[in-house]
Amino acid sequence: MIWVRAVNGVAMACAGLASAAAVVLLPPRGSRRLVRLGRGEPARRLDAALRQHVVAARNRLRRARLEEATAAAVVGLADALAAELLVGRPAIPALVLAGTAIDDPMLGRAVRPVFDLLALGGDVAGALTAASVNPGCRGLGWLAIAWQVAEGSGAGLAVAVTRIADVARAEGEHRRDVRAQLAGPRATAALLAVLPLVGILLGVALGADPLAILLGTPGGLACLVVGLGLEMAGLRWTSRLAAAAERAA
């Protein structure tokens, strides 16, 4: 989430740099060429592509926020369950009471089958395991293991649930720390991706007409294809490295 704001900041900074250069440093003729470029069909297509990218980034950010909120709600559920167990309440009534405090919609939908099985006397551990595959619900799988062990051995459940809540809380904090540390490399990758576009805009404004060369000559088309391919490969590689670091965390 932090990295999305950083990327947006880099893009805004690059756009501001290009605009300032066009207005302050360039002659009037170059500024007019830049304005005509901004009104052309390639600029409209680029604007549509950028808007689509921004929408996709916002959707990813929204999913990440929902998943993080669900993970925090799982921690709250474990804390509430541990509190009920520590006062001597039996496991099933304790889970029912802890479930009444759930205010996260995604977690509520995920654990609904669990509470349906509680009324029927079904396999609670199995239902928790099935619910743990939902985004942000990984901690429910740990609760399922503790529940199954407690049922099979008669061991106390309160201490195990308390430790699960502590581990899940620490894991969430660690993920947020890793995400913050990855904001710098992601912002750098975004800056390097935007710089060629800034260079083309400045070239057009200076009267060099780089688009005519890139789109109108075989050599220019070859350079454009190779450059776009390398740029996409670099962005994809950086994204995969960052995603792998987050998964490893």
Report the percent of the chain where pLDDT is more than 90. 7
The more confident residue out of 42 and 194 is: 194
Report the mean per-residue pLDDT for the chain.
76
pTM assigned to the model: 0.62
What does the pLDDT look like over 34-91, one tens digit per residue? 445 445 555 566 556 656 766 776 777 788 788 888 988 999 999 999 999 888 888 8
CB burial of residue 48 (10 Å; 0-12, 13-18, 19+):
exposed
What is residue 104's predicted lDDT score, i.e. its pLDDT? 86
Name the pLDDT band for 194 (thresholds 50, 70, 90).
confident
CB neighbourhood size of 6 (10 A): 20
| Residues contacting residue 194 through CB under 8 Å, at least 6 positions apart | 10, 11, 14
What is residue 217's predicted lDDT score, i.e. its pLDDT? 83
Burial pattern 161-178, b for ≥16 Cβ within 10 A else e, equals bbebbeebbeebeebeee
> 180, 188, 178: which is closest to 244 by C-alpha?
178
> 115, 168, 177, 125: which is closest to 146 by C-alpha?
125
| C-beta separation of 76 from 101 below 8 A | yes
Mean pLDDT of 212-217: 79
Name the pLDDT band for 1 (thresholds 50, 70, 90).
very low
Rounded CA Rg of the chain: 27
What does the pLDDT look like over 86-140, one tens digit per residue? 888 888 888 888 888 888 888 888 888 888 887 777 788 888 999 999 988 889 9
Mean pLDDT of 150-157: 72
**Per-domain boundaries in the chain:** 2-67+178-248, 73-169
Q: Where are the beta strands (DSSP E) in 6-95?
A: none
Q: How far apart are CA 19 and CA 15, in angstroms?
A: 6
Hey, is 130 helix, strand or coil?
A: helix
Q: How far apart are CA 104 and CA 86, in angstroms?
A: 24
What is residue 122's predicted lDDT score, i.e. its pLDDT? 77
Residue 15 clears pLDDT 60, i.e. is over it: no
Residue 160 clears pLDDT 80, i.e. is over it: yes
Which residue bears the tokens 């551990």?
125
Q: How far apart are CA 249 and CA 178, in angstroms?
A: 7
